[in-house]
Chain A
Amino acid sequence: MRFRNFIVALVAWITLMSAGYAFQRRMAFDDDEGPLTLPSDAKEKTEYTFARLRYPNFRGGSGLWAARGNWTVDFPKADRQFVQGVRRLSRIHTRSVEQVVDLESDDIFNYPWVYVVEPGHWDLPDSQARKLREYLLRGGFLMTDDFHGTFEWEIFTASMSRVFPDRQIVDIENKDAIFHVLYDLDERFQVPGIIMFYTGRTYEYDGVEPKWRAIYDDNGRIMVAICHNMDLGDAWEWADHPRYPERYASLAYRIGINYIIYAMTH
């Protein structure tokens, strides 16, 4: 009996310790939704603003993020940390804080570059799909990020096919200007999210192979840049963390800056 109690206590202690360790590890990364103070130049009028798309969640979603809305993942730290890099590494006149836009109002047309995170959880109604199509055809640019595997891809394309029923999603060739407009990005690899620290893998679900895909307009210009099976947002968000590998963060910044400059030149 004593032995049994000892075993139970040991298991409970190990469980408690493990949970505590895991909690500490998680807390070390998971402050992306926490409130941040606004930088002093937050109201500066600039040429470029990092615009984040707020979208309705897929109906089958569950959990904390689904409740908050998956569009908020990494928000706002990833956005603010990324634009610091944009400011430092390019001549783009960039605002220090992001702008949240949606497809319900026309404000999105004032921001010709929009970032959408976890579109593997979005569900655009027809009206919003129409507006997104109009936005893109007028010259807007959409960058998608942080969705993984077949299941999320299906959800992503379900809405995207309402935006462009007649346009194909294709792999971007290495020679495309988007990979050379500032940095030559011939050597690309999978940029993992922080889940790598729990799983030890750089991929999620069955999204083993990173995919750089796009939807082009009739003049061969990319309108929708699709970063599938990678998590650039996490790389931006944790670029300042000593445990997040620099090589992933660097590539994520280079991709992001290239995509902005591409959008401002094509």
Chain B
Amino acid sequence: MFEFLFNYSRTVFSKGSFVLLGAWPVWALVACILLGAAALAVPVWRMRDRASGRARGVRLGLLWLMQSMLLAIVLLMLWQPAMSVATLKPQQNIVAVVVDDSRSMALNEDGKTRKEKALEALNNKGLLEKLGKKFQVRMYRFSSGAERMEKLDQWKVEGNATHIGESLAQVAAESSTLPIGAVVLFSDGADNAGGVDLETINLLKRQRIPVHTVGVGRERFDKDVEVTDVQTAARALADSRVSAVVTVKQRGYRSAKGRITIKTDNATLASQEMTFQADGTLQTETVVFNAGNAGLRNLHVSVEPLQGEENASNNTVTRLVTVENRKPRILYIEGEPKWEFKFIRRAMDEDRTIELTTILRTTQNKIYRQGIENPKELEEGFPAKVDELFQFQGIIIGGVEAAYFTTTQMELLKQFVDRRGGGVLFLAGRSGLSDGGWNRSAMAEVLPLNLPDKKGTFHRDPATVELTPAGQESLICRLEENPEKNAERWKKLPYLADYQESGTPKPGAVVLVDSIVSGKGKYPLLVTQNYGRGRAGVMATQGTWRWQMLQPLADKSHEMFWQQLMRWLVQNTPGRVVASTPKPVLDDDSRVTLRAEVRDRNYLPMTDAKVTANIIGPQGVAEQVELRPDPLTPGTFVSEWRAEKAGAYLAEVLAKRGEEEAGRDVINFRREDGVAENFGAEQNRELLEKLAAETGGKYYKVDDLAKLPEEISYSEAGITVRETKDLWNMPVVFLTLLLLKAGEWLLRRRWGVV
């Protein structure tokens, strides 16, 4: 229809520029239009005296406007309007036909594979032939990179990845010496590299190469479940609970039940039922599992395939978790003998992953130490030197008044959280929290609560406990794998022996458990927050020991709670060297970023370190890589490396200052081939449309390519010539003139001014 009315395709108008071919100047056209309009106003004004009441005012104005428009169009046509558009010179330009060679193109839909549908368009519907009549056609196939092909027979759809950006950049680079006029890209757009990068888009724009994208494949599956992401900690302590946040997308199974399982190579760690929500929505489920013994875990997280699923190969995602054999140390100082102290110690006796060292003030002048490494350790009480305190990963302050600590110790305690990245937990007591003066101490800033500004906040009265919504999600409070059962179990816990008024949570703090006191209301019981590089928490009771004494021996609520709270306290306390990589599992990708954060003894960034990574990989891969300082982040060192072979890699990162070793850390990563193409397999039309729009091309459906050969001609890349296309003879002009005159006549008859 558009072309019937306007004689030319939209592309002519979108790519061309409007020109007036007449010899007379443009100002003359404007002057003529204005004079003509003024002249037409005189008879219309006179019509006013003769017209009946109905034809006055706005109506006469409308008649004048219609006459003036008609005159303006006629005058415009006399000035010979036209579109000037750049077109590719026939047979002097190359059109690059780039086809997606990745495995997702082999997906069978409606009886044909995506490749077959593309071939049908190229061969049977004669696209290649039509292009060949106007241009030289150069064919490429691409997956992780572009590769020239002479014939379509070489199109195998066996590639393990789809990297559109990289591939187009290669084609553009190759065209820098060739007259490439346009690129025609056949793809499902299921890019595994996160889309087309801006650099490639700018390169194509600079070379003015329009990319015409042809979308192949279904935009929506009818029945499919896909695990789109799994977030889990890269490291865990042995025997600790770890959560995996599984993101699932499905179509066609709304309200149906599914089952998420987490398996290692030889055992099932967790299994959890889920109910699917609306089609196409991203749904997250948290599955908790035990990390088990120290070692590397390959976690296969999957949703069991459902009946009728179109693509079952996108139901499993692999993640790596390094279960560490380190034994973090916690220093717990308590101001007076109390049952909570005993039962916390007993709970931690059963945890072989954390070492608990305690200082207990038994009398005014005596302390009793447990869990010390040698008789001299902590002989003088709470550490007053940085290296003595920073050797611990977590600190617990029991019922000890703030004044017991010197100014130096208080500052060290603050830096322990802020700079060293440790965890500190405050417990209730006669000399704890506000009653111990902590509300007015230097540590008040670190605490997750604004403590009450008063004394007498500690009460030896019973209090029950209640999980908050955040507590229901927290691993600290997970006594049962099943969230509902967990909430029930918390409700059944015996009452606490005491509680302390803890104040109001600060912004950013998370209240996990409330204590409920009959007749008084609710107080935050367990509150956490991050502070600096570390974390701080408050447990506003010293009476959880009743959970142990008042429940059957087989019940492990008390032990589990404290073990999990302690793990939270120390799990993420960093060492002096922390190595990381953003993607521990490389799906059909080889690029690895190695990063190391290096600190000195005082945990200040160490900028003058020499950092190397010794990498050991599959099939005898062994390489040493030097990490270079990141100029933007002091103490951080980075390097890019390529894992050329599929398999498991281990990198030991070593930091040295001169001959002195600052520390070392180990990271694991894994390259998996043949995986990426199973995911995101629906046609990514949005990406293809955006790519076309950004480069000046157009998006086409694979079964609607009739106009492509002509529209592709309008390009400013390659060898071009400018064409002018007259506009005076467009049917839309004549139709407009006719409508204006006919409309005026009808209105004048209606209004009685004929």
Contact = CB atoms under 8 A, between A and B. Distances in A.
A18 interface: no
A109 B345 CA distance: 18
Interface in B521-570: 545-546, 548-553
A109 B546 CA distance: 8
Nearest to A113: B339
Contacts of A260: 337
A48 B550 CA distance: 17
- Between A91, A106, A263, the greatest number of chain B beta carbons within 10 A of the residue's beta carbon is seen for A91
Nearest to A48: B337
Given A182-B366, A261-B368, A265-B345, A109 B550 contact: yes
- Between A45, A109, A140, A265, the greatest number of chain B beta carbons within 10 A of the residue's beta carbon is seen for A265
A14 interface: no
Contact of A90 (B337, B339, B551): B337
Interface string B219-235: 00000000000000000
A266 B342 contact: yes
Interface stretch (B32-40, B173-181, B357-365, B471-479): B357-365
Interface string A145-189: 000000000000000000000000000000000000110000000
A264 interface: yes
Given A139-B346, A261-B362, A109 B460 contact: no
Contact of A91 (B339, B343, B358, B361): B361
Contacts of A93: 336, 338, 430
A182 to B, nearest CB: 5
B276 interface: no
Contacts, number: 79
A95 B642 CA distance: 69
Contact of A138 (B345, B362, B549): B549
B362 A90 contact: yes
Interface in A87-123: 89-93, 106, 109-110, 112
Contacts of B305: none
Interface in B316-355: 335-339, 341-343, 345-346, 349
Given A134-B553, A138-B548, A266-B342, A91 B368 contact: no
A182 B365 CA distance: 11
Contacts of A110: 497, 546, 549-550
B725 to A, nearest CB: 93
Interface string B458-502: 001100000000000000000000000000000000000100000
A182 B368 contact: yes
Contacts of A90: 337, 362-363
Nearest to B339: A112
B17 interface: no
A221 B341 CA distance: 15
A219 interface: yes
A50 B621 CA distance: 68
A46 interface: yes
A137 B550 CA distance: 12
A147 B466 CA distance: 47
B549 A91 contact: no
A47 interface: yes
Contacts of A263: 342
Interface in A20-66: 45-48
Contact of B549 (A140, A221, A264, A266): A140
Contacts of B336: 47, 91-93
Given A93-B430, A139-B343, A265 B549 contact: no
Contacts of A106: 550
Contacts of B551: 138
A139 B368 contact: no
B14 interface: no
A90 B430 CA distance: 15
B370 interface: yes
Contacts of A181: 362, 368
B341 A91 contact: no
Contact of A47 (B337, B360, B363, B461): B337
B407 to A, nearest CB: 24
B363 A265 contact: no
B524 to A, nearest CB: 22
Given A139-B343, A181-B362, A181-B368, A264 B338 contact: yes
Nearest to A86: B337
A145 B475 CA distance: 46
A48 B338 CA distance: 8
Contact of A219 (B349, B363, B552, B553): B349
Nearest to A137: B553
Contacts of A182: 362-363, 366, 368
B390 to A, nearest CB: 26
B337 A261 contact: yes
B354 to A, nearest CB: 16
Nearest to A260: B337
A72 to B, nearest CB: 26
Given A139-B343, A260-B337, A265 B370 contact: yes
A265 B348 CA distance: 12
A138 B363 contact: no
A139 B342 contact: yes
Contacts of B461: 45
Interface string A253-266: 00000001101111
Given A109-B550, A139-B548, A140-B549, A91 B337 contact: yes
Interface in A208-266: 219, 221, 260-261, 263-266
Contacts of A261: 337, 362, 368
Contacts of B460: 45-47
- Between A137, A139, A140, A266, the greatest number of chain B beta carbons within 10 A of the residue's beta carbon is seen for A139
A101 B384 CA distance: 45
Contacts of A112: 339, 342, 545, 549
Nearest to A92: B337
12 contacts: A47-B338, A48-B337, A90-B337, A90-B362, A92-B337, A112-B339, A138-B548, A139-B548, A263-B342, A264-B342, A265-B337, A265-B368
5 nearest A-B pairs in the assembled complex, by CB-CB distance? A45-B460, A264-B337, A91-B336, A109-B549, A92-B337
Given A47-B460, A91-B363, A264-B341, 13 more contacts: A46-B460, A91-B362, A138-B549, A139-B342, A139-B346, A139-B549, A140-B549, A182-B368, A221-B346, A260-B337, A261-B368, A265-B341, A265-B358
